[in-house]
Amino acid sequence: MSPSPLHALSCLVLILSSAASAQSPAPRHAPIPTQIPSQNAILMGAAWYPEQWPESRWEEDLRLMEAANLKVVRIAEFAWSRMEPSEGHYDFDWLERAINLAAKHHIVSVLGTPTATPPAWLTQKYPDTLRAEPSGQRVTHGNRAHASASSPRYREFCRQIAEQMAIRFGHNPDVVGWQIDNEYGYALMSFDDGTRRQFQDWLKTKFETLDNLNTHWTTSYWSQTYDNWGEIPIPIGEHNPGLMLDWKRFVTYTWTSYQQNQIDAIRKHAEPRQFITGNFMGFFDGFDHYTITEPLTFASWDDYVGSGHVDPAYNGLAHDLTRGFKRQNFWVMETQPGAVNWSALNNFLNRGEARAMAWQAVGHGADDVNYWQWRSALNGQEELHGVLIGPDGTPVPFYNEVSQTAHEFARVESSFRDTAPVSQVALLFSYDSHWALQFQKHTQKYDDVELLKSYYRVLRQISQSVDLVGAYAPLDSYKLVVAPSLNVLPKDLADHLLEYVRQGGHLVLGPRSGMKDEFNALLPQRQPGFLVDALGARVEQYYALEKDVPVSGALGSGEASIWAEQLKSQARGDEVLLQYGRSNGWLDDQPAIITRAYGKGRITYIGAVLDDKLMATAAEWMTQKSDVTPVFGAVPEGVEVSRRVGPGKQIFVLINYAPESRRVTLPHSMQLVLDGKQADAVDLPPYGVAVALDNR
C-alpha cells in the first residue's frame, strides 16, 4: 500500500519532532486540555456519602483521604431525600459544608445529580413516575433506578433538583464538575402506555408516513402491516428486526434527552469551567454511547472486575471503548476497592492488582481513577462491598495500596500533562451492527464482542496502541482500520469507508459485514453490500459451523470456527490469502480471505472466525501491509505497554501481569519517573509498574 498524503505528513512531522522516537507517529490532534485546569493531570478519588454519617465524622474521613493523597470526591448522587426532604423544600447547607470541608483538605468535589434515587415522597405522591416492567406492573420504592426516564413528570422533578443544585453550586470554586444521574439505562425503559405513545411519535417523526415505515420494515411479512401509528407495539421478546433496531434507537433518544434535560438545567447556572460527564458501563449495550456522550464534556466509566481477576486485554479494550466515545481522554469514575458484592464469587483482587489496574487506566487515557466506595454504609443493599474505610471508621489494608498509588500519581502527574494515547490502528464498533447481530445470532456461539476482543488482542500486541471508535469516526489518521463485524453498512457508511481506502488506508472487514441497511433489512446485494465493487469479490453463501473447518494459504494453516463465508472473486487484482479445506462440500477449496488494492489503499475481507494462531498471522500480515509499527518495541510476554503522547514528549506505562518478574529493555535510555532515575531497562515484579518518560 502506498502511504496517503496524511501518512506522509505525519511522517514528516515525526522526523521534525525532536520528541517522538523513530517509530512513533506525531500526535494527530492538538494537545488535550487538562480536564480540571487547576488540578493535577492525573487524579485519584473516591465516592463519599457524607449524608450517611454524623457531621462530626466528616473531618476524620477527609483527613484520611488527604493522607492517602485522594484529590476528588464524588458526592450527592444518591442524596435526593437529604437535598429535597419534601416537595419543593431544598436543603443544601449540609452539602455545602461537606464541600467546604473537603476543600480544606485539598479535595475537589464532583456533584452527582441524584436522579437514580427519587425519594419516597415523590414516588408515593406521583406513582406515574415509577418505571413499569414489561408486564406493565410498576416497580416499588426501595431499590434504585426505579423511576421512568420517559415520564414527563419525573423529568420535571429531575430538572428542578438539577437546577437547584446548579444555582447553589454552579459557581462554587471547589465543585469542579457534574455527573448526571448514575449509570443510566441499566434498569431498562419503562414499558407504560405513555412511553409506547412516545415511541410511536418518534417513529412518526422519523418515517413521516406509514407507507415508508411499512416498506422499510417489510411489514407485509407475517401480516405486520400498520395502518395506524397507534398499532405499533414496544418490542418485547422476538420481533420484527426493523422495529427492534428502531426501538434501540428510541431508547438511545430517551436517555439522551433525559440527560439533556439535566445538562440544560445545570448549564443555565454553572460556570463553563465545570465539566459535565456521565458514568457509563463499558460494553453495556442498552443505548448508543457515541450518541449519548456527544453533549458531555468527557466520558467516564465504572471499571469493575467482579469475579476473578483483571483480564488486561479486555479491560484495556473497555478503556479504549470509553476513550473512543468522544475520542479523548476519560475518567474512571468508579473502580472496585478489592472486591464487589454483586457477583457470583466476590473474591478480592490480589495485592498489587488494583494498583496495576489504576496505572493501566492512566496508560489508556484515564485522567482520574475513583474508588467506589470510601466507607461501608452500615445498612443498605451494598453492606459487604469493598471499601477503603471499614464500618469502624479506620482504614482497611487495601487503603495502603490506594494511598501508595495516589502518591505515585501526584509525584509524576506533570509528565502526563497534556498527553493522550495516539494510535496507528483503529477498530470500528457500531451499536447498530452489534444489536443486529444480537437479534439474529444464527449461532449462539457468534459473539461480536468476543470477536472484537480477539482482533484487539493481536493488533494491540503488535502495535501497542489501538483506538476503538465509532464506524463514522474520522479515519484519515489511521494506517489500518479493522471492522470485525460491520453487519449494518448503509451507503453513507460505505462511502465514508471507501473514501478512507481511496486516500491510502487499509480497511479490513470481518465476517458478516455489509449485510444490512440502516433499517436492519437485508441489502439487495450480496455481502459486503456497497463494498462489493471495491473488493472485487462477494459472499456467495454463509454457514454457521457445527465443527471447525480447515483453512490454509499464504497466511499459514489452521481452523475456522463458528462462522464461515464462501467468498467469490469477481474482479482482477484479487488475492486469496486463505481458503477452506474439506468440510461441508460447499466451502471446500473456496476463498476465506480476499484482499485487493483499491484507490491508493487496500480492502481486505475475512470471511471466517479464525483460530488464535491464524488471527496472529492475519494481524501480522495486515499490520505489515499497512506499515504499522509498535509504539514502543518488543516487551516480554505478560507485559502490557501503553503510550500517551504530548508536546515534546511521549510517556509509557509498563505493567507486568505475568506471575514472574520480567525485564523490559527500553528502546533507548528513558527517565523512569516513579523511581526518579534514567535507565535502559527495568525489572518488573508481578503487578509491577514502570512509567518511562521519553522527552529526547
How many angstroms from the chain centroid is the CA of residue 93? Answer: 36
Tell the smallest beta-carbon distance from residue 592 to ligand GLA (Å).
42
Tell me, by CB under 6 A, how many residues bind ligand GLA.
Answer: 10
**By CB under 6 A, is residue 565 in contact with ligand GLA?**
no
Please, are residues 531 and 585 in contact by the beta-carbon 8 Å criterion? no
Closest by Cα among 28, 695, 71, 690 to 360: 690
Q: What is the C-alpha separation between 63 and 80, in angstroms, rounded? A: 26
Residues linked to residue 578 through DSSP beta bridges, in sequence order: 593
Stretch that binds ligand GLA, among 95-103, 154-162, 334-342, 490-498 (CB under 6 A): 334-342
Q: Is 334 near ligand GLA (CB under 6 A)?
A: yes
Classify 175 as helix, strand or coil.
Answer: strand
Nearer to ligand GLA, 382 or 533 (CB): 382
Q: List the one residue from 340, 535, 564, 631 that touches ligand GLA (CB under 6 A).
A: 340
DSSP SS3 for 88: coil
Using a 10 angstrom Cβ sphere, with 0-12 exposed, 13-18 middle and 19 or more buried, the burial of residue 125 is: exposed
Residue closest to ligand GLA when measured from CB atoms: 302
Residue closer to ligand GLA, measured from CB, 385 or 479: 385
In the complex, least distance from residue 495 CB atom to ligand GLA, rounded to whole angstroms: 39
Residues in Cβ contact with 420 at an 8 Å cutoff, skipping those fewer than 6 apart: 27, 29, 31, 32, 328, 329, 365, 644, 645, 646
Q: Residue 196: left (phi > 0), alpha (psi -120 to 50), or beta?
A: alpha
Cβ-based nearer residue to ligand GLA, 330 or 632: 330
Q: Vertex 125, ends 119 and 126: CA angle to 5°?
A: 90
Least distance to ligand GLA from the beta carbon of 367, Å?
19
Write each residue from 141 to 180 as x if it is in contact with ligand GLA (CB under 6 A), else as -, in one continuous string: ----------------------------------------
Of the residues 128, 174, 285, 382, which one makes contact with ligand GLA according to CB under 6 A: 382
- Distance CA(445)–CA(544), nearest Å, equals 9
Which C-beta is closer to ligand GLA: that of 311 or that of 382?
Answer: 382
**Minimum Å distance from CB 157 to ligand GLA?**
20
Please state the length of the chain.
696
Q: Is 375 in the site for ligand GLA (CB under 6 A)?
A: no
Angle at 298 between CA 461 and CA 468, to 5 degrees: 25
Q: Which is nearer to ligand GLA, 95 or 614 (CB)?
A: 95
- The smaller minimum CB distance to ligand GLA, of residues 287 and 605, is found at 287
Q: Which of residues 215-254 bind ligand GLA (CB under 6 A)?
A: none
What cell was used for 402?
Answer: 490506594
User: Where are the alpha helices (H) located in 218-328, listed in sequence order?
Assistant: 241-267, 289-292, 312-326
Shortest separation between residue 317's beta carbon and ligand GLA, angstroms: 19
DSSP 113: P
Task: Report the nearest approach of ligand GLA to the CB of residue 403 (Å).
Answer: 21
Q: Is 596 in the site for ligand GLA (CB under 6 A)?
A: no
> Cβ 237 to ligand GLA, closest distance in Å?
28
Taking the least distance from each CB to ligand GLA, the nearer of 187 and 555 is 187
List of E strands, 372-520: 425-429, 466-470, 480-483, 506-509
Burial environment of residue 543 by CB neighbours within 10 A (0 to 12, 13 to 18, 19 or more): buried
Gap between the Cα atoms of 169 and 390, Å rounded: 30
| Residue 183 lies near ligand GLA (rule: CB under 6 A) | yes
Assign residue 504 a region (left: φ > 0; alpha: ψ between -120 and 50; beta: otherwise): left
CB of 340 to ligand GLA, least distance (A): 4
Please, what is the minimum distance in Å from the beta carbon of residue 179 to ligand GLA? Answer: 10
Member of 298, 372, 399, 446 binding ligand GLA (CB under 6 A): 372
- The minimum distance between CB 458 and ligand GLA, in angstroms, equals 30
For ligand GLA, the closer of residues 110 and 466 by Cβ is 110
49 binds ligand GLA (CB under 6 A): no
385 near ligand GLA, rule: CB under 6 A: yes
Give the span between the Cα atoms of 235 and 109, in whole angstroms: 41
Give whichever of 182 and 423 is closer to ligand GLA, judged by the CB atom: 182
Task: Give whichever of 184 and 652 is closer to ligand GLA, judged by the CB atom.
Answer: 184
Of residues 84 and 183, the one with the C-beta less far from ligand GLA: 183
Q: Which is nearer to ligand GLA, 2 or 341 (CB)?
A: 341
**What is the rounded distance in angstroms from the CA atom of residue 198 to the CA atom of residue 79?**
30
Burial class for 126, CB neighbours closer than 10 Å (0-12, 13-18, 19+): middle
Q: Please state the closest distance from residue 334 (CB atom) to ligand GLA, in A.
A: 5
Using CB under 6 A as the binding rule, the residues of this chain from 255 to 314 that contact ligand GLA are 302, 304
Shortest spacing between CB 116 and ligand GLA, in angstroms: 8
Q: Which is nearer to ligand GLA, 183 or 413 (CB)?
A: 183
Positive or negative: CA dihedral 232, 236, 238, 241: positive
- Which three cell numbers mark 37? 485546569
28, amino acid identity? R
Q: What is the DSSP letter of 455?
A: H
- Binding track over 67-96 against ligand GLA, x by CB under 6 A: ------------------------------
Supply the minimum distance, in Å, between the C-beta of residue 71 and ligand GLA: 20
* Min separation Cβ 472 and ligand GLA, Å: 29
Of 513-552, which residues contact ligand GLA (CB under 6 A)?
A: none
Longest dimension (CA), the chain: 79
CA quadruple 276, 343, 686, 667: dihedral positive or negative? Answer: negative
Provide the binding-site residues for ligand GLA, judged by CB under 6 A.
Answer: 182-183, 302, 304, 334, 340, 342, 372, 382, 385
